Structure 1
Amino acid sequence: YSIFNRKERLLLVFLGTFAAFLSPLTANVYYPAIVELSHEFHVSTDLINLTITVYLILQGLAPTFIGSISDVIGRRPAYMICFMVYFAANVGLALQNSFAGLMVLRCIQSAGSSGTLTLANALVADLATSSERGSYMGYATLGAFFGQAVGPLIGGLLNAALGWRSIFWFLVIFSATVFLIFIIVVPETCRAVVGNGSIPPQKWNISVLGYLTGRRFLQPNPSIPVPESPRAPRRPINLLGTVQIMFSKGAGCILLYTGFLFGGFYTQIAMVPVNFTEHFGFNSRQIGLCYLPFGLGCMAAALATGKAMDWNFQRIAKKLNYPIVPGQQNDLSKFPIEMARIQIVIPLAFLGCVTVVMYGWMFHLTKSLAAPLVLLFFLGFSLIGAFTAFSTLLVDFYPDSPGTATAAANLLRCWMGAGAVAFIGPLQAKIGSGFACVAVAICWILSSPLLWIVWKHGPAWREERRIKAE
């Protein structure tokens, strides 16, 4: 399936997750400065929250183009586009002096950073078979959720020490560093361009080290003779591919449920500054620290869920006498991959419903700081664990266009998240945090039958797509 051995694949996935760190870092580094920005531009915090809404709208839209481009011309060119747009937007944000400028440049910043998470998942599809994809997907999303953990902390420290502009100058320096690493080191992995890695890419698509050494920086394992693999079928860039996946059977149900899940997810992280300022009188530095348990829960979920998915895949394969050949892609036409992934999601979704209700009421029932922080950890663990499993299932559904499939998930969850963030502030002001969180849990419960539908009908729908593609 891939000429790269395990260590080389882990290195590539690590670099992909290092780049994916940019997207959640950019979103979360901003939260501790919300109150200061409202004072700076003389607007309400609800208006500043609108910059989060437009950020999420573009975060959903931009990967639809990047994912489709990367599936056809390669991962490296798509990464370069993301980095250049992102770098320019951060320079503009650090220099601008108006609320309108903040709003517009946050949109451009989102367009640049959001594609990196989509590309990290596509990188996993290039390198890992379905039997080991869970663990690699966990590694790929680890950096993204590390951004959930340290983004608010970095933002809080920078804002308190140097002011809100220093946040964007930090992002300028960090993105430039990652950009250089990718230009110098990372080879092309897209299967439509290089097959299993044995076919040379276009000359303009070779890393700097590839030019300097006259070969790929990462070499195939010399002890294993690997014949040259044909490229995956080349297709024209289909900018409507994301929409087609959103309205397809099976994938559409998964995407809709993920949208509801992440709508609730974004409402909770957006309201952390308000909740902890009102109830504990925290400043931006202290609010940044409050995000740390949430981010740590996200990181733990990415690793634990990945391992659990691989374990469950192998358990079901053994039960069904389904052969697994290491290093080769498995034929999933007769394998219940929907069941294997959704079995991991169900307990996580239940934990998320219970946790979000407890978290909302905890501010009214106790003055303890530890209680909401512990619940933030479990909230992050449950929601991101479920999201990791869904992301893996989408790649299983569309192994030849993983960038487009991941972009479809990104589009729906971000747009539904944007609507939820715009709605949660006025709702919580009217009915309180406890009932607002109950409303979130009810939405999750009412949308849960979508999981049963995919579990029951998913294999038949997947076979329909396979026959239609042939």
Structure 2
Amino acid sequence: MPAEDKNRQIQHDAPKSTPPASAAADAPYTVFDKRQKGLIVLIVSTAATYDLNVSLELVNLTVTSYLIFQGIAPSLWGPVSDVKGRRIAYTCTFLVFLGACIGLAQTKNYATLIVLRCLQSTGSASTIAIGSGVIGDITTRADRGGFMGIFQAGLLAPVAVGPVIGGALAGYLGWRAIFWFLAIYSGVFLIVLLLLLPETLRSLVANGSRAPSNPLIRYPLKVYQKLTKVEWDPEAAVPMPQLAGSRRIHVTGPFRILISKHAAPIITFLAVYYAVWQMSITAMSTLFEDRYGLDEIQIGLTFIANGAGSMIGTLITGKILDVDYHRVKAKYESRSSSANVEAGNGLSRVTTSQEDNFPLEKARLRLVPLFSCLQCVSLILFGWTIQYPDHVHIAVPIVSTFITGWTAVSTQSVIMTYLVDIFPDRSAAASASLNLARCLFAAGGTSIVMPMIDGVGVGLTFIICVAVQLAALVGPLVQSKFVGAWRREAEKQKAQNAEPKEQ
């Protein structure tokens, strides 16, 4: 076949949306400008507030079942959102949540209450995984930490205000009012979400400039494209290569990530720390009531410190993550550029080499040991001060919960950002795997914390918890020392397998 005909045949066989390589290289990572990114993050952060847990203390026998389903549900919705789109996944989860809240507000027996609480968890918990996927879609590693911090702050707002609202509604209007409140809240927000949140999944809309045929996905993306300050030819915007063929929903994907050697050490570590944090939160109501004689509304107010620490901590940590990334990247580029630059193709070779060999674990996980040790100290302070209420003012254990919330959520923000970095094509599934581990660990921890306190006392209970946490520090050590090399080797093998074989 003549060369000209052969080239024509290759162009005919290639996907029509695939642009010339030079055009794709010039495409911005996303067409959403800073203000649009801010609005998108605000929407997904608000969506995450539906994992409110405001009534866990009021119906505390449902805590374990709620946490189990809270862990399992994102393993379904995360892969769905990674393939079918963020808007479709959000719409389905909110419809489930809305229906469950209406049912809970009218339930008349305990068995139905348990079932509907599990269904409610199935709808609400997935917003975290989907939201993490959205953040991964519209951000690069260079600015992902800050946006992830804002997202985490939004989803943690209920930790501060949820118990207060729940306590007030239950105290004055009865516990059913909580679910009517959530039903109205979710119904209104679903309308807002459908009107304002654009589709961001890169395998469907590339960098935001591709218009898919599905009308549910296309709107309001077209509005954002018209308003954006970034002008780009839609034909030149292509999905990332690793996303282009990802059209099957793998429900087992989060589980495979969970047990993979690339993620298991750090996920297990976080699951332990999250479980202990949830154990302290679960015990707070009973302990403050028994030791300090607080009523329901006063108990709700004690949760503000924990929630405030969580929100402030993740906002600051997100900014630190971005600073750390730029610092490590600048140092790495200055060391490696001279060795990688070659005449005629220097820039592309440097970029490729740096992406493959960049010390991501060093850039992302530096703060984990610091946060871990501070959390351990705050838990010991909480356990031993609340054990002696006659000798210690209530402000001391409350302040300790502020530190615990700050460090626990900051650690979570660091690790969630890191997982989105190393699984860019499965960001929602990666978040779901983290959620699965932490919720299952938390379900076990919250079911035994009060029997432990009754058996050995508050102080010794949290000494045991801290000992387990210190042992879990092996996870970040393994992740930092070995996983970077394992990950780079796997990426190299994947690239070799993807290369076309000569006929």
User: Quick check: TM above 0.5?
Assistant: yes
Query: Matches of 1:465 and 1:148 in 2, distance apart?
Result: 39
User: Is residue 403 of structure 1 aligned with residue 410 of structure 2?
Assistant: no
AA aligned opposite 2:375: G
Show the counterpart of 2:127: 116
Are the aligned partners of 1:76 and 1:187 in contact in 2 as well (CA < 8 Å)?
A: yes
* Cα shift at 1:70: 0.5
* Cα shift at 1:226: 5.5
Matches within 5 A, 1:152-301: 152-206=163-217, 209=220, 215-217=222-224, 219=226, 221-222=228-229, 224-225=231-232, 228-231=236-239, 232-235=243-246, 236-301=248-313
Show the counterpart of 2:6: none
Query: Matches of 2:233 and 2:421 in 1, distance apart?
Result: 24
Query: Matches of 2:238 and 2:129 in 1, distance apart?
Result: 24
AA aligned opposite 1:8: Q
Show the counterpart of 2:320: 308
Show the counterpart of 1:358: 381
List per-residue Cα deviations over 1:395-440 (Å, max 9, x = no partner): 0110111011000000000001101111111111111111111111
User: Is residue 443 of structure 1 aligned with residue 459 of structure 2?
Assistant: no
Between 69-78 and 94-103, the greater mean CA deviation after superposition: 94-103
Between 329-338 and 454-463, the greater mean CA deviation after superposition: 329-338
Partner of residue 73 from structure 2, selected from 42, 62, 78: 62
The alignment partner of 1:347 has SS state of helix
Show the counterpart of 1:38: none
Q: How many residues of Structure 1 are paired with residues of Structure 2 in the alignment?
A: 447
Between 193-202 and 52-61, the greater mean CA deviation after superposition: 193-202
Show the counterpart of 2:58: 33
Normalising by structure 2, report the TM-score.
0.86
Show structure 2 runs of 5+ residues with no match.
1-28, 338-346, 496-503
Query: Matches of 2:487 and 2:200 in 1, distance apart?
Result: 26
Determine which structure has more spread, i.e. the larger CA radius of gyration. 2
* Cα shift at 1:131: 1.0
Query: Matches of 2:280 and 2:300 in 1, distance apart?
Result: 14
* Cα shift at 1:377: 0.5
Show the counterpart of 1:86: 97
Show the counterpart of 1:102: 113
Show structure 1 runs of 5+ residues with no match.
35-47
Show the counterpart of 2:35: 7
Are the aligned partners of 1:89 and 1:109 in contact in 2 as well (CA < 8 Å)?
A: yes
* Cα shift at 1:32: 4.4
* Cα shift at 1:204: 3.1
List per-residue Cα deviations over 1:300-323 (Å, max 9, x = no partner): 111011001011111111222269
**Root-mean-square deviation (CA), in Å?**
1.9
Are the aligned partners of 1:342 and 1:455 in contact in 2 as well (CA < 8 Å)?
A: yes
AA aligned opposite 2:368: V
Show the counterpart of 1:462: 487
The alignment partner of 2:367 has SS state of helix
Are the aligned partners of 1:4 and 1:219 in contact in 2 as well (CA < 8 Å)?
A: no
* Cα shift at 1:224: 4.4
List per-residue Cα deviations over 1:206-260 (Å, max 9, x = no partner): 36556xxxx3345463454456311232321111111110111131111111110
Query: Matches of 2:280 and 2:395 in 1, distance apart?
Result: 17
Are the aligned partners of 2:136 and 2:144 in contact in 1 as well (CA < 8 Å)?
A: yes
Are the aligned partners of 1:5 and 1:220 in contact in 2 as well (CA < 8 Å)?
A: no
* Cα shift at 1:108: 0.4
Between 394-403 and 331-340, the greater mean CA deviation after superposition: 331-340
* Cα shift at 1:346: 1.4
Are the aligned partners of 1:188 and 1:201 in contact in 2 as well (CA < 8 Å)?
A: no
AA aligned opposite 2:237: S
Query: Matches of 1:329 and 1:410 in 2, distance apart?
Result: 32
Show the counterpart of 1:369: 394
Are the aligned partners of 2:87 and 2:198 in contact in 1 as well (CA < 8 Å)?
A: yes
List per-residue Cα deviations over 1:37-94 (Å, max 9, x = no partner): xxxxxxxxxxx33x11111100110001101000001000000110000001111111
Gap change, CA 1:388 and 1:329, over 3 Å in 2 = farther
The alignment partner of 2:197 has SS state of coil
Query: Matches of 1:413 and 1:336 in 2, distance apart?
Result: 26
Query: Matches of 1:85 and 1:330 in 2, distance apart?
Result: 45
Are the aligned partners of 1:72 and 1:234 in contact in 2 as well (CA < 8 Å)?
A: no
Gap change, CA 1:160 and 1:195, over 3 Å in 2 = same
Partner of residue 22 from structure 1, selected from 33, 45, 50: 50
Query: Matches of 1:386 and 1:156 in 2, distance apart?
Result: 29
Query: Matches of 2:360 and 2:249 in 1, distance apart?
Result: 28
Are the aligned partners of 1:69 and 1:237 in contact in 2 as well (CA < 8 Å)?
A: yes
* Cα shift at 1:153: 0.7
List per-residue Cα deviations over 1:91-141 (Å, max 9, x = no partner): 111111222122111100000000101111111100000011100100111
Show the counterpart of 2:16: none
* Cα shift at 1:283: 1.6
AA aligned opposite 1:130: R
* Cα shift at 1:21: 1.0
List per-residue Cα deviations over 1:4-40 (Å, max 9, x = no partner): 11111111011010101111x1x1x114424xxxxxx
Between 377-386 and 99-108, the greater mean CA deviation after superposition: 99-108
Are the aligned partners of 2:209 and 2:225 in contact in 1 as well (CA < 8 Å)?
A: no
Query: Matches of 1:194 and 1:330 in 2, distance apart?
Result: 28
Between 65-74 and 229-238, the greater mean CA deviation after superposition: 229-238
List per-residue Cα deviations over 1:259-300 (Å, max 9, x = no partner): 101110110111111111101111211111111000000001
Show the counterpart of 1:45: none
Show the counterpart of 1:421: 446
Show the counterpart of 1:134: 145
Show the counterpart of 2:14: none
AA aligned opposite 2:43: L
The alignment partner of 1:33 has SS state of coil
Query: Matches of 1:226 and 1:350 in 2, distance apart?
Result: 50
Are the aligned partners of 1:294 and 1:380 in contact in 2 as well (CA < 8 Å)?
A: yes
Gap change, CA 1:445 and 1:56, over 3 Å in 2 = same
Between 92-101 and 382-391, the greater mean CA deviation after superposition: 92-101
Are the aligned partners of 1:32 and 1:284 in contact in 2 as well (CA < 8 Å)?
A: no
AA aligned opposite 1:263: A
Normalising by structure 1, report the TM-score.
0.91
